[in-house]
Amino acid sequence: MTKIQNFNLWQKNCIYYQALKIIFKNTKLSQINCFKFKTMNKLPNIFKIKSKILPSPGKYLISEPLMNEGIFGRSVIIITEHSEQGSLGYVLNKPSGFVISQLLPQFKNFSSQVYIGGPVATNTVHFIYKSDKPISKSVQIDEHLYWGGDINELLERMTSNKLTENDVRFFVGYSGWGKKQLQNELQNGYWIVYSFPISHLFEEDVSHLWKRSVLQLERKYHFWLNVPTNPSLN
């Protein structure tokens, strides 16, 4: 489903070294010229990405910084389904530019932002919500966190203020992986699996969600924030 920009191992590590040099100014590391390692073939793969948490519903995927541009570039995804047959989730930090009343007329009194959940079935609307009491046909993905269900019952709860707009996140489309596809992408270092509190899902300002997510990872990944969005232009 996803692609990494076409960098070989040497190029990728070199980009990462340059990002680290910004952090370690005036140290031996800052003096490294990774281009010299190309012919010497001595640049090690010290930036191997490995998740300590297994993917499962309610967990999150954080894309590595060299993920290709587009919906998966610097994205944070919540997993709603994961099994041997495949996985499904929703991108949290890519607004669609629409509000729910523009896509579902019955929600005319609501102005909830709609996010691009992924590239699959982009003509469909999906939702995740937090509640102590699930809606009919919902799937529980974490404590007090549910995915999908009866859309009319959702509308009734929102209309009666049993659920607020801050309790619901709407999406168009979703992100899907076939059998063993997500596992392969994790092995290739495309993503890190992490666990966040429910509040992470419902943050209003998602423009820096990827950055805030990276800062909660182990410190060795914090240099990701210094990797340019498009290294090929540097």
Q: What is the pLDDT of residue 39?
A: 46
- Predicted TM-score (pTM) of this structure: 0.85
Residues 135, 153: contact at Cβ < 8 Å? Answer: yes
Q: What confidence tens digit (pLDDT) does each residue in 102-123 have?
A: 999 999 999 999 999 999 999 9
Helix (H) or strand (E) run with residue 18 in it: helix 9-23
Q: What is the pLDDT of residue 67?
A: 83
Q: Please state whether beta strands 60-63 and 76-83 pair in parallel, antiparallel, or not at all (unpaired).
A: antiparallel
Q: What is the pLDDT of residue 30?
A: 47
Residues 67, 75: contact at Cβ < 8 Å? Answer: yes
Q: What is the pLDDT of residue 138?
A: 98
pLDDT < 50: residue spans in the chain: 3-5, 26-27, 29-30, 39-41, 43, 233
Superfamily of domain 52-218 in the CATH hierarchy: VC0467-like (3.40.1740.10)
Q: Is residue 180 left, alpha or beta, with left meaning phi > 0 and alpha meaning psi from -120 to 50?
A: left
Q: What is the pLDDT of residue 16?
A: 65
| Domain ranges within the chain, ordered by starting residue | 52-218
